[in-house]
Amino acid sequence: MTSTQSSSEPRLLSRILVTWIELTVVGFGGGAIGTSIGGPPGLIIYFVTTLASVGVLFYNVNELIKQWIPSDANAT
């Protein structure tokens, strides 16, 4: 493995850390807002928080795959 190959490899640990931080912020933010509002609107906030969490996961997995695809295309 050369230095050019290692620099083009995806940074999995960095992406995991970024995903974890984003999920923590979304979760705590949605939980705080949902709890402070309460009732049916609070439940809607919890649902939106769940959708945002799924969006964060999909976005970060997509970014990781986009990093892998060019490195595989250059290798062949």
What single-letter amino acid sits at 2? T
SS3 76: coil
Percent of the chain with pLDDT over 70: 78
> CB neighbours of 22 closer than 8 A, spacing ≥ 6?
56, 60
Share of the chain above pLDDT 90, in %: 58
pLDDT digits (tens, 9 = 90+) for 20-45: 999 999 999 999 999 999 999 999 99
The pLDDT assigned to 75 comes to: 60
